[in-house]
Structure 1
Amino acid sequence: MKFERYNFSEEIKANLRELGFKRPTDIQYKSIPPILRGEDVLAVAQTGTGKTVAFALPVIQMLSARQRRHDQHAVRCVVMVPTHELAIQVSRVFKELAAGTSVKIEGIYGGIDQDPQIENLNHGVDVVVATPGRLFDLESQGHLSLRAIETLILDEADHMLELGFKHDMNQLIKKLPARRQVLFFSATINKQVKDAAYSLVHKAVRIQISPNDPVSRNINHSVAFIEMDDKRFFLERIIREHPDSKILVFVRTKVRAERVMKALERVRLLSETIHGDKDQNQRNQVMKRFFSGENKVLIATDVSARGIDIPDVDIVINYDIPEETENYVHRVGRTGRGQKKGEAIAFCSTEEKERLEAVENFLDRKIAQLDIEKHDYKETLKMSGDMETDWKSLMDETDALANKKKRKKKK
Structure 2
Amino acid sequence: MKFEDYRISIELKTNLKKMGFKRPTDIQFKCIPHIQKGEDLLAIAQTGTGKTAAFAIPILDKIQFIKKKTKTHAIRAIVMVPTRELAIQITNVFHELGRNTKVRTQCIYGGVEQDPQIDALLKGVDIMVTTPGRMFDLASQGYIQMDKVEVVILDEADHMLDLGFYKDIKDLVRYLPNSRQTLFFSATIDEKIKKLAYSLVKNPIRIQISPKDPVSKNVDHSVAFIEMDDKRFFLERLIKENEDLKFLVFVRTKVRAERVTAAMERVQIKSETIHGDKEQRDREEVLSRFKTGKNKILIATDVSARGIDIPDVDYVINYDLPEQAENYVHRVGRTGRGKKRGLALAFCAKNEIEILKQIESYITVPIKRAEIDSSEYQETILFSDDGSNNWKKLLEQEELDKKKKRKGK
State the TM-score, normalizing by the size of structure 1. Answer: 0.91
* Letter matched to residue 91 of structure 2: S
Match for residue 86 of structure 1?
86
Match for residue 12 of structure 2?
12
What CA distance in whole angstroms lies between the structure 2 residues aligned with 1:279 and 1:379? 40
For residues 190-241 of structure 1, the C-alpha deviation after alignment (integer angstroms, 9 at most, x for no partner) is: 2321222122111111111134222211111100000100000001111111
Where do 1:1-400 residues align within 5 Å? Answer: 1-67=1-67, 72-162=72-162, 164-385=164-385
1:160 Cα offset (Å): 2.1
What CA distance in whole angstroms lies between the structure 2 residues aligned with 1:244 and 1:39? 47
Contact 1:4/1:13 (<8 A) preserved: yes
Contact 1:73/1:122 (<8 A) preserved: no
Contact 2:82/2:163 (<8 A) preserved: no
> Helix, strand or coil for the counterpart of 2:164?
helix
1:67 Cα offset (Å): 4.6
RMSD of aligned residue pairs (Cα, Å): 1.5
> Helix, strand or coil for the counterpart of 1:66?
helix
For residues 102-145 of structure 1, the C-alpha deviation after alignment (integer angstroms, 9 at most, x for no partner) is: 21000001111111110010011010000111111111111111
1:74 Cα offset (Å): 2.6
1:149 Cα offset (Å): 1.1
What CA distance in whole angstroms lies between the structure 2 residues aligned with 1:53 and 1:257? 32
> Helix, strand or coil for the counterpart of 1:164?
coil
Contact 1:155/1:184 (<8 A) preserved: yes
Contact 1:86/1:306 (<8 A) preserved: yes
For residues 24-52 of structure 1, the C-alpha deviation after alignment (integer angstroms, 9 at most, x for no partner) is: 11111111000000001111112111110
Q: Which has the larger radius of gyration?
A: 2
1:14 Cα offset (Å): 0.9
* Letter matched to residue 180 of structure 1: R
* Letter matched to residue 219 of structure 2: I
* Letter matched to residue 254 of structure 1: K
Structure 1, gaps ≥5 residues long: 387-411
* Letter matched to residue 14 of structure 1: T
For residues 134-171 of structure 1, the C-alpha deviation after alignment (integer angstroms, 9 at most, x for no partner) is: 11111111111112111110111111234601011011
What CA distance in whole angstroms lies between the structure 1 residues aligned with 2:196 and 2:144? 26
For residues 238-287 of structure 1, the C-alpha deviation after alignment (integer angstroms, 9 at most, x for no partner) is: 11111111110000000100000000000000100000111011001000
What CA distance in whole angstroms lies between the structure 2 residues aligned with 1:189 and 1:92? 27
> Helix, strand or coil for the counterpart of 1:309?
coil
What CA distance in whole angstroms lies between the structure 2 residues aligned with 1:362 and 1:252? 19
Contact 1:60/1:103 (<8 A) preserved: yes
1:70 Cα offset (Å): 8.7
How many matched pairs?
A: 386
Structure 2, gaps ≥5 residues long: 387-409
What CA distance in whole angstroms lies between the structure 1 residues aligned with 2:78 and 2:61? 15
What CA distance in whole angstroms lies between the structure 2 residues aligned with 1:45 and 1:164? 22
> Helix, strand or coil for the counterpart of 1:182?
strand
1:69 Cα offset (Å): 9.7
What CA distance in whole angstroms lies between the structure 2 residues aligned with 1:172 and 1:68? 28
Q: 1:73 to 1:9 in 2, by over 3 A?
A: closer
Contact 2:213/2:365 (<8 A) preserved: no
> Helix, strand or coil for the counterpart of 1:103?
coil
What CA distance in whole angstroms lies between the structure 2 residues aligned with 1:56 and 1:38? 14
Contact 1:319/1:346 (<8 A) preserved: yes
Match for residue 398 of structure 2?
none
* Letter matched to residue 348 of structure 1: C
* Letter matched to residue 58 of structure 1: P
What CA distance in whole angstroms lies between the structure 1 residues aligned with 2:163 and 2:286? 29
Q: 1:18 to 1:29 in 2, by over 3 A?
A: same
State the TM-score, normalizing by the size of structure 2. Answer: 0.92
